[in-house]
Chain A
């Protein structure tokens, strides 16, 4: 490419693993990067995971290095609790409006935790998928970046209470903080807006929301995680009983025109991975996996083969279409074992729904000409100047997100160099 070689400025929307990776790649190539994240912390969905597949290492390993690279980078500016409102212009010249919600805690916070002890109000623990509660002022996540605590504006009583302000020795709490807007000039935008789990309450037949012992795969990650509501001990929610039997229900809403038509690509490996969590804590637990097809492409097939060797793992080819609960809290999952041709009714302590990946809803962002999406709502990534990476583009695992982010960063750099 010809030009004066002056590197431009790139906006990365979303601070999950894809956004973080794209921001780092672009900044280390010399670009200025603004990273906008709607949560008060970086890391996105990855932080909620207990372990990555197939290596079963905790996400913090990779994440810590990347967060350090962001922290020490002179070219990355992070805006948390912030969302993009408007993008105008075209490739090479965009004007972006970002709205930042008040965090009520400033950068003087040392994460000492005195405020949490003082706070009288509670809020549902969103990060742990509402399994438990936090105070209205809370530590966002373990190994959080930024490390500052945050206040949930909906739960906090504000200045009339003010107990946290009294408790804070560092004047880090400002209950009068107002929302602000940032106007940015950038040459390219990378959407790394990620995904949210499919709303399992819509699956009427299988009782999520009705039966406590029917949980989602993401809840399972939290239950298995040391930083989760049970400090890493997998117990069933209704009575904290140990797990003797567990059923994994694949394609809970995925590949279903009544719910979400696409295959989410990662839930098979997700459940296979979670059988390892269960096996580690309960060597004798019976594990059942109900599936339509087990999709473990490439080398991931090896992981599947390992799980198959587990004598206490039973794979049943047939989709679960009905779950009922009995008085003991056990749930009965029902499917047709299509290989034997008979109906299976399996009673288990806990059923885990492999809910799929729904692309983030970007309809609130005002963009000249709009964003190109495919039939499932994923970004096509083919718009010049407006690139996309990771699960915003297609449902993929972390490793693919990282690769995708590098590709998107390169495209954005090409677009931003004058």
Chain B
């Protein structure tokens, strides 16, 4: 018989969940309708019923080491069918937010990202850093002997303001910092999940790490999980548009920034791109896809049935910054064709601030769902999370997990 478990409820944690979207959590009476109606939930230890009681009890350690929180794609099937209006989908969203903040390195940045009071500071930081880079541009160029970019083919080139060598080195430097933060966060999360599984007596991986990663990526690329949701079918489309639009924009940006130094480039793809360059067409289409996707998300959230909830500041901030990035990009492009001086350079600078903000806050904002969801999906494959459970009713004839039973008794008190 396993040792009895001493639970340590964390009231502060409960209050944070209640404040950030999980306001109805105490209404849950553990009927487990949610675990059954969820199309994504596996048969063995399904979610989100267990997460609901863990959250009611403030069992922070379990929740933050729980991959299931991230296997939820917030279809809202659970909240729609919940007989108590406890909104499990909102609680899981709040838990994901907690998870990002908890695992991110350094942690205070995550806290800032979840608090609207820090918006000015969060915008000031990238502005100042980019401004500094601009100030340092001339001294560095003269020291290193770079030629001034005045003799370019296009007189009004943006690169005269922010030369590509500077863009590359500046963004590369911060990308490396972000990458380190991501790796640290992923390691924290992975270790926590492994430790939790070890505590509950689960042994050994079910799959190799590589096979797990491939399986998870396949899921992400096809948006398989999204497509299984029934209440929120439109989410599949909006996320699909934003996801692929964003990837395309990312690739084009990298290509454009490095074009000058890329030996593979031939005349037809030469930088700067002409209006009908396939790269520019791709970028414009992708930009439009992201804008449409974001607008769909906003419409969905505003029209969301009352049972699901409209999301929190954390979600809205991410949609907001994505839209700012793409829209400021479009304005920059339009002003470029209109030769509107000097506003276009100011707009371009604003655009860079947004892009930079998106990058440096990646591990701390909702953007980090990309990291943690992927990690959790890989871990789910790796640990055999989705394995089939025995389907017959066990009930009183079989001893249920003692630990769960003890907890159930405690909950009665």
Contacts and interface: CB of A to CB of B under 8 A. Distances in A.
Interface of A: 205, 251, 255-259, 288, 292-293, 308, 314-322, 334-346
B400 A337 contact: yes
Given A258-B83, A319-B33, A341 B400 contact: yes
Nearest to B29: A292
B393 A346 contact: yes
B400 A339 contact: yes
B37 interface: yes
B44 interface: yes
B394 A342 contact: yes
A330 to B, nearest CB: 13
Given A258-B81, A335-B32, A340 B394 contact: yes
Given A205-B81, A322-B37, A343-B35, A338 B30 contact: yes
Given A255-B31, A314-B393, A341-B45, 9 more contacts: A322-B36, A336-B46, A339-B408, A341-B400, A341-B404, A342-B46, A342-B394, A343-B36, A343-B41
Interface in B18-76: 29-33, 35-37, 41-46, 49-50
A288 B397 CA distance: 11
Contacts of A321: 32-33, 36-37, 81
A5 B401 CA distance: 68
B30 A344 contact: no
Contacts of B43: 342-343, 345
B5 interface: no
B390 interface: yes
A104 B12 CA distance: 72
- Name which of B35, B50, B392, B408 has the most chain A CB atoms within 10 A of its CB: B35
19 contacts: A251-B83, A257-B84, A292-B29, A314-B396, A314-B397, A316-B393, A318-B32, A319-B33, A319-B83, A321-B33, A321-B37, A321-B81, A338-B30, A339-B405, A340-B398, A341-B400, A342-B394, A344-B392, A344-B394
B392 A339 contact: no
Nearest to B27: A257
Interface of B: 29-33, 35-37, 41-46, 49-50, 81, 83-85, 389-398, 400-401, 404-405, 408
A314 B85 contact: no
Contact of A314 (B30, B391, B395): B395
A125 to B, nearest CB: 33
- Name which of B42, B83, B394 has the most chain A CB atoms within 10 A of its CB: B83
Contact of B395 (A255, A337, A345): A337
A251 B393 contact: no
B392 A338 contact: no
Contacts of A255: 29, 31, 83
Given A205-B37, A321-B36, A343 B389 contact: yes
Contacts of B30: 292, 338
A276 B50 CA distance: 33
A256 B29 CA distance: 11
Nearest to A344: B393
A335 B394 CA distance: 12
Contacts of B85: 257
Contacts of A316: 393-395
A338 B53 CA distance: 11
A343 B49 CA distance: 11
Contacts of B392: 344, 346
Contacts of B31: 251, 255, 292, 318-319
A281 B31 CA distance: 31
A342 B44 contact: yes
A342 B390 contact: yes
A256 B31 CA distance: 10
A342 B389 contact: yes
Contacts of B29: 255, 292-293
Contacts of A320: 36
Nearest to B396: A315
A317 B41 CA distance: 18
A44 B300 CA distance: 48
A343 B30 CA distance: 14
Contacts of B35: 318, 336, 343
A275 to B, nearest CB: 14
Contacts of B44: 342-343
Q: Which 6 A-B pairs have the closest CB atoms?
A: A256-B83, A321-B36, A336-B32, A340-B400, A339-B400, A319-B31
A341 B252 CA distance: 47
A344 to B, nearest CB: 5
A190 B402 CA distance: 52
Nearest to A320: B36
A346 B389 CA distance: 12
A109 B45 CA distance: 64
A98 B400 CA distance: 59
Contacts of A345: 43, 391
A341 to B, nearest CB: 5
A342 B32 contact: no
A337 B404 CA distance: 11
Contacts of A340: 394, 398, 400-401, 404
Given A205-B37, A319-B33, A343-B36, A337 B393 contact: yes
B400 A343 contact: no
Contact of A336 (B49, B395, B397): B49
A288 B395 contact: yes
Contacts of A339: 395, 400-401, 404-405, 408
Contacts of A322: 36-37
B393 A341 contact: no
- Name which of A288, A293, A336 has the most chain B CB atoms within 10 A of its CB: A336
Contacts of B404: 338-341
Nearest to A258: B83
Nearest to B78: A321
A342 B49 contact: no
Contact of B83 (A257, A293, A314, A338): A257
Nearest to A334: B36
B36 A336 contact: yes
A347 to B, nearest CB: 8
A101 to B, nearest CB: 38
B295 to A, nearest CB: 30
A215 B41 CA distance: 28
A334 B33 CA distance: 9
- Name which of B31, B43, B397, B400 has the most chain A CB atoms within 10 A of its CB: B31
A272 to B, nearest CB: 14
